[in-house]
Structures are given as C-alpha cells and as structure tokens.
Amino acid sequence: MQIYLPIAEVSVNAFMLLGLGGLVGVLSGMFGVGGGFLITPLLFFVGIPPAVAVATSTNQIVAASFSALLAHLKRKTVDIKMGVVLLVGGLIGAAIGVQVFAWLTRMGQVDLLVQLCYVVFLGTIGAMMLIESLRALGRARRAGGALPVRKQRTWIHALPFKMRFRTSGLYISVIPPVLVGLFVGLLAAIMGVGGGFFMVPAMIYLLGMPTKVVVGTSLFQIIFVTGFATLLHATTNYTVDMILAVLLILGGVVGAQVGTVIGVRMKAEQLRILLALLVLSVCGKLALDLLLMPGELYSLADRRGG
Amino acid sequence: MAMRFLTLLALALALIAGPLRAETVVAGLSQEAISITTDFDGSEILVYGAVRRDAPPPGTEPMQVIITVEGPDRSVTVRRKDRRFGIWINTDASEIDAAPTFYAVQSSAPLAEALSHTEDLRHSITIPMAIRAVGTGRIDQGQFTEALIRLNLEDDAYQLNEGAVRFREEVLFDTSVRLPANLTEGDYRARIFLTRAGEVVDVYEQMIPVRKVGLERLIYGLAHDRPLVYGILSLLIAVGAGWMASAVFRYIRG
C-alpha cells in the first residue's frame, strides 16, 4: 500500500515503514538505544530526504523510548535523579548541536560530519564493548558464573559537587554525568540519534552505574532530549513528517515491547556482545562508503535547502 | 471557453503571420488539475490534440509535435566528491539558479530531426535549455549541469521520450506523460509545439495546478503556519502511541 508523505513529499510503501519501525523498536527495547543510528540511514535508503529523516527519527525515538521506559519504570530500573542530571547537560548540548548543524549545512559538509561521527563513535565504542564483554564472559566462565564486582577508585571520584544516587548505589560528582549528557545532546542534534549507543557504555564504564539501571535511565534522558530536538526541527526547518512518524511509531511501539521481554531474558554480557556486533557492522558499512570510490561522485542538495 | 479563446488567438496570429503560420495546433489534457491525496502514487496525463489547416500543407517536410511538461523552478546545489586524506568528501559545489523540479519532453520524432538548434534556443525546449546556470563562476560548470540532468533522469524527475507522440489520421496526435509520485506542489506548464523542418509553426500552452488536498493539505499547512503547535502535537501523538501500546501489552499479558 503506497502512501504519500505530506512533508517528505514522496510516496512510499506503508507496510515497509511499519516493518522498519518494528525492527528498530525490538532493538530499542533490547538495548536501550533509541535506534536512531539505524533508522536515520534506513530512511535515507528508502528515499526520504535527509533533513526529514533526521527530524522525524527524533520524533520516532520519543515514542519508541516512551513505551520502553514505561516497562522499565514498572520494574523500577530507572535512576530518575541521575536521569535529571544527564538531562541538564543534554538540553545544553542539543542547543549547541543545532547551531553546529546549521553551520555545517551551509558549508555542504553535514553528511561528512555525520558519517565521520558514526564511524569514529560507533567504531570505538563497539570495539571497546566487544573486548570488555568477551573478557567478562571469559571471567564468568572461569569463576563458575560469579561476576567479580570491583569498585575502582579513579580520578572521577576526586571531583567536587558530589551527589548520592541511591538507585545506582553511587556517590559521585555531578560533573561527569553532566558532561556525558551534554555530549549526548550534541550528538542527538547533529546526528539525529538518541545517543544511547554512547550513553549506555559511558554510564557503565565511566560512571560505574550497574547495568540493570543503565538502560532505563538512558531512555529517560533520551526522551526529553529528542523531544526537545523534535520541537527545534519542527519550528526551524519544518521537517518533521507526522504521517511518517506515526507509521514508524506504530511499528516501533510493538517492537519495543517485544525487545524489552527479550532483553530481560538475556544475560547482560550476551546483550552487550550483541549490541557491540550491531554497532560495529553499522560502523563498517559507513567506513566502506567513505573509503571506497562512490559510484556517483555528484549529489543534489535537498531542494528545501535543509 | 479558455481553450476556444486560445484557439481563436492562435488563429488570429496565424492570419497575421501569413503563409508560414497556416497551421495551428489545438490540444487538451485529460486532467485540468492534479490533487495529491494520501494514497497518491504518481499520475498520468493524457495529452491529445489536432492540427488545424487553413491551406494545403506547405512543402513536403513532415509535420512533428513536441510536448513538454514542466514543474516549478527551484535553485539546486550540485556537489562533487573527491578523495582527500583517503576518504571521499564533497569538495566542489555549484549553485544552479533555477532548474525545474520536473521536466518531460516527448516528441513524434527524434528531437534532432523535429527541432532546429535556433528554435530550441528561442523556446527552451530540450532539457539542458530548461536549466538556468549563469554566473556560477565555474569553468567546469558543464559537468555539474550534466550531473544534475543525469541524476534527475535516473529519478524519473526528468524524462526524454522521443517518438512517444503518436499521430493518428495525419492531423490527430496523442501521448501520455507519467508524473512520478514525488511531485512538488505548484503550477505545472504543458506546452505543445508544432514543427515543420525544425521550425516551430505553432505553440499551445496550458497550466496544470498540482495541489495537496485533504489530510495532506491539513498537515502541510499546520506544519508551516503553526510549527510550534505542530511540533507539540507530533510529540503528543508519539507519547500517546507509546503509552497506548504499552497499556495494550500489559492488558494482553494480564
């Protein structure tokens, strides 16, 4: 069934969009990533103009994350206090990111920046997670299933403005979470992603939060940051396509619930290895696009100038 | 009514112009306007017409018909990639002042036969003539314009169908122009040229308004007139859908 999208101004198959939303929803529920890093390139691929794809995917992330967050709130795996601290940084980061995005669009280098960001961040984080998870899995096997929990004292514990996060069982400075949040907000505005792929590992390895509350807390921050980004895109570029968003959401909300169920049944290490492999494959594909000579050297800028 | 007036006008012009303008073209379109609805998946316009003669056909050169349909003009930036530091990035760009968002040329014979270069220059009929790229300050502007045309041809946004206009009974002709699904709103212009020995004998012109209607109109209008309301509404729909699906799942699982 073909459907004409009023803002994107293209006609696409409605069932394909539902399926696309569903697939990304499953991943969103499983890993706590918004799925923007998958949905944005997939939307380019089906012929949605890049500006509309970026703006609409932020809207879709809000919905996909909302249903997943409800599931996490019910299980009390959300550190709301930590979420708010991350959010403060996130809103500042998003506001800066929008300015950077507008400037690079004028320079014609926004695609390059987005691709480079994907390759660098996804590559580094994917590799780090894979190595760490494989090592943890190996340790768990040798130790007969018991995971050694070590609380390391690093430079992070020496920073001022300490705050107690009871749900996470942490007593750390607010500076690292605010900076993490700020960076995620920056990525959200520039790359059209929720930023979960960066925030989840940062929370685990940098802040030392327990894996159990990481997914729910990152979803909490993502909802507000992407919601803010959606409003900015709608009011400055008029590129949020409501019909496209609704189709992606309908597929996505169902997928997210399925994903949450799968996520609960799997071991944290297995989950991390899977996410690492997924992140690395997306990164590999984008790296090849940059390194190999493209079939078409010329491209047309979006006619709306976005 | 408008058509009759144009026919009369063409006839009057023919009389003034003398023996060379002894032939005129009258034509009609199967659709007066195009509405973009939610299930819009492209459209087809049938163009039909007849050649009117007030004198026996002049000379022995065969008569040809060229039909063009063009969408509203937009400025376009064409970018070119080059290898820098081992990766392919956009290095050059050309700002093309105006290029039609849609352009189709159909003719009853190869354009090289049906149209002389001077007449093409005068009436801007072929695809390269429809693109205005002046003062870009590039020596290699030609490559960028060619790329623009090539990319649009691949997209079916530009079409060249030589021989797609069929003649029936010598003076009757028809053709159908396929409009793709990703149409830009605006006033489209259809032109029908009658040529003999490459010279344009007569032109007939008609506008085709292309508009979004219904839900499409409503959403597009709201997004542009009240962007904040639209943005908040989008978020509410998103959150509502998320919450509802969650509630449905809870209910299913008891």
Closest CA to B149 of B170, B173, B129, B171: B129
CA distance A23 to A38: 10
- Is residue B141 within 8 Å of B147, Cβ to Cβ? no
Domain of B240, in residue numbers: 213-254
Over residues A71-97, mean pLDDT? 87
pLDDT at A294: 72
pLDDT digits (tens, 9 = 90+) for A48-76: 877 788 788 888 888 777 777 887 888 88
Which residues in chain A touch residue B246, judged by CB atoms under 8 angstroms apart? 66-67, 70-71, 253, 257
A76: left (phi over 0), alpha (psi -120 to 50) or beta: left
B122/B220 same-domain check: no
Strands (E), A119-268: 162-165, 170-173
Residue reference for tokens 């169902």 = A254
List the CATH number of the domain containing B63: 2.60.40.3880
Distances (CA, A) of B71 to A51, B140, B157: 22, 27, 9
Chains A and B: how many Cβ contacts under 8 Å? 175
Q: For A3, list phi and psi in degrees, rounded to 5.
A: -135, 140
With 50 as the cut, is the pLDDT of residue A303 above it? no
Determine the residue type at B147.
A
Number of domains in chain B: 2
Which residues in chain A touch residue B100, judged by CB atoms under 8 angstroms apart? none
pLDDT at B58: 67
DSSP secondary structure letters along A34-60: -SHHHHHHHHHHTT--HHHHHHHHHHH
Higher model confidence: residue B104 or residue A286?
A: B104
CA distance B138 to A41: 32
Take residue A235 and report the two structure tokens written for it: 């009011």
pLDDT at B154: 84
* Rounded (5°) CA angle A114-A117-A119: 110
Q: Between β-strands B186-196 and A162-165, what pairing exists: parallel, antiparallel or unpaired? A: unpaired
pLDDT at A304: 42
B44/B140 same-domain check: yes
Coil vs helix vs strand at B166: strand
B184 contacts A234? CB cut-off 8 A: no
B88 contacts A294? CB cut-off 8 A: yes
CA distance A39 to A64: 12
Residue of A11, A39, A250 to mutate for B, most B C-beta atoms under 10 A: A11
Residues linked to residue B172 through DSSP beta bridges, in sequence order? B50, B168
Q: For A150, list phi and psi in degrees, rounded to 5.
A: -115, 125
B212 contacts A303? CB cut-off 8 A: no
CA distance B3 to B13: 15
CA distance A305 to B155: 19
H/E run at residue A218: helix A211-236
Lowest mean per-residue pLDDT among A83-87, A138-142, A187-191, B4-8: B4-8
CA distance A225 to A88: 9
CA distance A263 to A219: 14
H/E run at residue B87: strand B87-100
Eight-class DSSP state of B58: P
Alpha helices (H) in B38-126, listed in sequence order = 111-114, 117-123
Which range among A146-160, B104-118, B135-149 has the greatest average pLDDT? B104-118
What is the percentage of chain B residues whose pLDDT exceeds 70? Answer: 87
pLDDT digits (tens, 9 = 90+) for A125-142: 788 878 877 887 777 666
Coil vs helix vs strand at B178: strand
CB contact set of B168 (below 8 Å; sequence gap of 6+): B174
Chain A nearest-CA distance from B76, in A, is 6
Q: Is A112 on the interface with B (CB under 8 A)?
A: yes
Higher model confidence: residue A167 or residue A34?
A: A167
B80/B137 same-domain check: yes
Residue reference for tokens 């799925």 = A35
Higher model confidence: residue A41 or residue B24?
A: B24
B47/B24 same-domain check: yes
Residue reference for tokens 């803002």 = A7
Other Cβ atoms within 10 Å of A113 Cβ, number = 17
> Is A37 exposed, middle or buried, given 0-12, 13-18 or 19+ CB atoms closer than 10 A?
buried
Over residues A214-243, mean pLDDT? 85
CA distance A264 to A211: 12
- Is residue B233 within 8 Å of A235, Cβ to Cβ? no
Over residues A236-265, mean pLDDT? 81
With 50 as the cut, is the pLDDT of residue A22 above it? yes
pLDDT digits (tens, 9 = 90+) for B130-183: 887 776 677 777 788 888 888 888 888 888 888 888 888 778 988 998 888 878
Residue of A13, A244, A253 to mutate for B, most B C-beta atoms under 10 A: A253
- With a threshold of 0.90, does the pTM exceed it? no
Coil vs helix vs strand at B225: helix
For chain A, the domains span 2-291
B18/B123 same-domain check: yes
Over residues A92-100, mean pLDDT? 83
CA distance A52 to A17: 14
B200/B218 same-domain check: no
